[in-house]
Chain A
Amino acid sequence: MRARTKKVLFSWTILVYIFFYVPILILMIYSFNDSKISTSWQGFTFDWYNKLFSNSAIGSAVLNSLTVALFTTLISLIIGTTAAIALYRYDFPGKKYIDLLFYLPIVIPPIIIGVALLTVYARLKVALGIQTIIPGHVVLTTPFVTMLVMSRLQGFDHSLEDAAKDLGANAWNTFWRVTLPLIFPSILSGALLSFTISVDEFVVSFFTTGPGASTLPVMIYSMVRTGVTPEINALSTIMILVTVFVVLLAEKWRGTLNN
């Protein structure tokens, strides 16, 4: 490659990364700014973090988010994994379209899922609360679990399950001793992905939550309506760091489990 081309490509790469991360970086820096308005730097402080931790409304929003994420993860793991095994194992006319229907929620706008669920809840007269967020999140996360488990299943030898049966294992033993251990790494990545999607999700949560029961993103939204305070910057910084940590953990686990 010519030196000039190399230089151009290098600059381009830097620009892409700046585009991705500079806004987030600025947000993080201003969470330590000793000023109420985020326009100029007035000195370093941990005040906003202190304020954040003493805010009980935020504490309950964090708890709500974690509760929703936990249930979402459990339910989508069960549905997603069993669906992947079924879609992998059975073939029938029109299966392509059934497969597609399973992955469709990935491209359906969350706002539609939110509004649709809200309509159903209203019709069935379901009282809204944090529990009513969970079904919407399950719809959003399950396709990812299915995709991860499916690709893992497709990656290993078809004869393994036959081999287990050949060696005297019934369907139950084949699943617990061969299939599940093999797909376990993908189930784990699916769990972490579902968890982070659920914790960060705003639109569906906003539509389907009840009065007074906010998740963290919904809480942040109601706070910024009166202007972006450094307290929100601090909260966002924590959310970003936790998410990055979980994703790194997922990658590390995946690596060690594959070997």
Chain B
Amino acid sequence: MSDNNMVKIKDVVKSFGQHQAVKNVSIDIKQGEFLTLLGPSGCGKTTTLRMIAGFESITSGEIVIDGKSVASQHPYERDVNTVFQSYALFPHMSVEENIAFGLKMKKYSKAKIKEEVERVLNLVQLEGYGKRKPDQLSGGQNQRVAIARALVNNPKVLLLDEPLGALDLKLRKQMQIELKHLQQKLGMTFIYVTHDQEEALTMSDRIAVMNDGHLEQLGTSREIYETPKTKFVADFIGETNLFEGEVVDSSEINAVASVEGNQIPIKPIDGLSPNKDITLTIRPELTWIEGSEPSNGKPSLQGKYVENIYVGSVQKVIVALPSGKNIVINESPMNASDLSPGDEVNVCWDVDKAGVLTS
């Protein structure tokens, strides 16, 4: 392994009849990395994972695991293991037998199997549960068994297909942290599939955002959230306000666009030229409200206060722009609002905090 990449996905295409489920996806995944495939249902993330596992054939392109092209290998010949969304625990076997299954197939000695099963039961904090059947355990415990059953084989890559989807919110958050710690402790490469953007942001070293079969953006959680490259990514990850606009003037150090009928300073990114269409993405938590237009030249939009929605950690202030479009501003719930519907307000932000998208 010369380039430190454990898995290389190269121009992979998967077609089911006329339908292309995965379109020319290329991702290099480093040894020890936690990579998440994130996207809405039907975006091709699970199909991509199943191609790595070997359950689906590749229509064209190549998948390389640890330096070897795996196209011709059966799932049972690949050095990867999967944690299934449904857990897929064998109902007729005890927890121990489930975990031992992979080692039995590799013809390990009885003593070695016993030792390894103990080790992973310990790892997932299920000591003493070995004799139980899966239907005698809770969802969270079965989840741990599924992870243990995969980990015991010491795979080069662990594939996880929405493994926490069936758990309740609190348990899910706890398991997210546990999984992340487990992955760091083992130094194992994890490829994780989810449609939950918060889960992806919490756990991943890098996130591959997929939409409609293609890769929208690949980057760290911070890059994906703070500098989305496409409208889809900006909209899918977190909450944002999107505004269509047109560049009026641009130079190396500043740029101005016409947005909602106002001339607004925007971040001068590469490739801007007058008359170019852009999309401005403004996160609710990076905006604030002022009574009068800011004098320091910060961008702002004028509108009428509509309402205030309290959601616990923040309150969402809704302001209607003259065009009728609403803009959402997150404020601390500590700020008691003395605005009443119809009041004129200015929504402000810092120039470099609003993303400029050209695609």
Interface set of A (CB-CB < 8 Å, partner B): 156-157, 159-160, 162-170, 173, 177-178, 181-182
Q: Are B105 and A168 in contact (CB under 8 A)?
A: yes
Contact residues of A: prevailing secondary structure: helix
Given contacts A160-B90, A166-B76, A182-B91, contact A173 B105 (CB under 8 A): yes
Closest chain-B Cβ to A69's Cβ sits at a distance in Å of 29
Interface string of B49-70 (1 = CB under 8 A from A): 0000111000000000000000
Q: How far is the CA of A234 from the CA of B97 in the complex (A)?
A: 51
Q: Are A157 and B88 in contact (CB under 8 A)?
A: yes
User: B91 is contacted by which of A156, A166, A168 (Cβ under 8 Å)?
Assistant: A156
Q: How far is the CA of A40 from the CA of B102 in the complex (A)?
A: 71
Q: How far is the CA of A139 from the CA of B176 in the complex (A)?
A: 54
Q: How far is the CA of A159 from the CA of B53 in the complex (A)?
A: 13
Q: Are B84 and A159 in contact (CB under 8 A)?
A: yes
Question: Does B185 touch A at the CB level, under 8 Å?
Answer: no
Q: How far is the CA of A162 from the CA of B56 in the complex (A)?
A: 11
Q: Are A169 and B76 in contact (CB under 8 A)?
A: yes
The residues of B that contact A162 with a CB separation of less than 8 Å are: 53, 55, 75, 82, 84, 88
User: B90 is contacted by which of A163, A166, A173 (Cβ under 8 Å)?
Assistant: A163
Q: Are B84 and A163 in contact (CB under 8 A)?
A: yes
Interface string of B74-93 (1 = CB under 8 A from A): 11100011101110111110
Q: Are B105 and A166 in contact (CB under 8 A)?
A: no
Question: Does B112 touch A at the CB level, under 8 Å?
Answer: no
Interface set of B (CB-CB < 8 Å, partner A): 53-55, 74-76, 80-82, 84-86, 88-92, 101-102, 105-106, 149-150, 153
The residues of B that contact A167 with a CB separation of less than 8 Å are: 76, 81, 101-102, 105, 149-150, 153
Q: How far is the CA of A160 from the CA of B90 in the complex (A)?
A: 7
Q: Are B82 and A163 in contact (CB under 8 A)?
A: yes
Q: Are A157 and B74 in contact (CB under 8 A)?
A: no
The residues of A that contact B74 with a CB separation of less than 8 Å are: 165, 170
The residues of A that contact B86 with a CB separation of less than 8 Å are: 157, 159
Q: How far is the CA of A177 from the CA of B91 in the complex (A)?
A: 12
The residues of B that contact A156 with a CB separation of less than 8 Å are: 91
Tell me the nearest residue of chain A to B55, going by C-beta.
Answer: A162
Q: What are the nearest 6 A-B pairs in CB distance?
A: A168-B105, A159-B88, A167-B102, A163-B88, A165-B75, A159-B84
User: B88 is contacted by which of A160, A169, A170 (Cβ under 8 Å)?
Assistant: A160
The residues of A that contact B106 with a CB separation of less than 8 Å are: 168
Q: Are A166 and B92 in contact (CB under 8 A)?
A: no
The residues of A that contact B150 with a CB separation of less than 8 Å are: 166-167
Q: Are A178 and B105 in contact (CB under 8 A)?
A: no
Tell me the nearest residue of chain A to B106, going by C-beta.
Answer: A168
Q: How far is the CA of A159 from the CA of B92 in the complex (A)?
A: 15
Closest chain-B Cβ to A227's Cβ sits at a distance in Å of 54
Tell me the nearest residue of chain A to B155, going by C-beta.
Answer: A166
Closest chain-A Cβ to B63's Cβ sits at a distance in Å of 15
Q: How far is the CA of A55 from the CA of B53 in the complex (A)?
A: 67
Given contacts A157-B86, A159-B86, A162-B55, contact A169 B91 (CB under 8 A): no
User: A181 is contacted by which of B92, B102, B153 (Cβ under 8 Å)?
Assistant: B92
User: B101 is contacted by which of A157, A159, A169, A181 (Cβ under 8 Å)?
Assistant: A169
Closest chain-A Cβ to B142's Cβ sits at a distance in Å of 12
The residues of B that contact A168 with a CB separation of less than 8 Å are: 76, 102, 105-106, 153
Q: How far is the CA of A139 from the CA of B89 in the complex (A)?
A: 36
The residues of A that contact B75 with a CB separation of less than 8 Å are: 162, 165-166
The residues of B that contact A169 with a CB separation of less than 8 Å are: 76, 101, 105
The residues of A that contact B149 with a CB separation of less than 8 Å are: 167
Q: How far is the CA of A170 from the CA of B102 in the complex (A)?
A: 11
Closest chain-A Cβ to B155's Cβ sits at a distance in Å of 9
Q: How far is the CA of A164 from the CA of B80 in the complex (A)?
A: 13
Tell me the nearest residue of chain B to A167, going by C-beta.
Answer: B102
Q: How far is the CA of A159 from the CA of B149 in the complex (A)?
A: 14
Q: How far is the CA of A169 from the CA of B76 in the complex (A)?
A: 6
Closest chain-B Cβ to A166's Cβ sits at a distance in Å of 5
Q: How far is the CA of A49 from the CA of B254 in the complex (A)?
A: 109
The residues of A that contact B85 with a CB separation of less than 8 Å are: 159
The residues of A that contact B54 with a CB separation of less than 8 Å are: 165
Tell me the nearest residue of chain A to B101, going by C-beta.
Answer: A167
Q: How far is the CA of A164 from the CA of B54 in the complex (A)?
A: 13
